[in-house]
Amino acid sequence: MSIRTPLLRQKDVNCGKCYSGQFNTKICVKNLRCNQSVHNVQGRSIRNHSGSPKGNTQVSTLPVHLVFADSQNSTSAYPGEEMLEVALRSEETLRLGCCSGHCGVCEVEMTCYHGSSKEVSVIRTCIAKVPSGFTRIEIADMDDEVWG
């Protein structure tokens, strides 16, 4: 039995700066102040470009320096801000699947630094938020011997 997934309608993605991510996920990386929604191939809204992230995401006024290790892109982010929002804002390419944290396709290794100490953990970027209490965070693809 094959499942047929509807493709995006042209009116869903009309900003001219969208690209197809891995696993047929459509990501819009246009200016975050546009009034479009980002859709995956099922047409479900992932986020809304309303100019501010969903909900009250800023729990601290001190930004964290966030580095995407594989591409060496870096940006500032506030603790509590959604990791996917930060990646989209910095035009970082992410692997995405379900966009709800269930499939694990978006798992990355997160290394958080504060002074001379560091913490390493695995997060799912589609649902993770920027943690507080750190000055620098590095995000890197996982090197998995089984899945590649």
Name the pLDDT band for 144 (thresholds 50, 70, 90): low
| pLDDT top residue among 108 and 44 | 108
Mean pLDDT for the chain overall: 69
Name the pLDDT band for 22 (thresholds 50, 70, 90): very low
Contact 90, 73 (CB under 8 A): yes
Q: What is the pLDDT of residue 11?
A: 34
**What are the pLDDT digits (tens) for 48-84?**
333 444 444 444 478 999 999 988 899 999 999 999 9
Domains and CATH numbers, the chain: 10-141 (3.10.20.30)
Contact 129, 112 (CB under 8 A): no
Neighbours of 134 (CB within 10 A): 20
Q: What is the pLDDT of residue 117?
A: 92
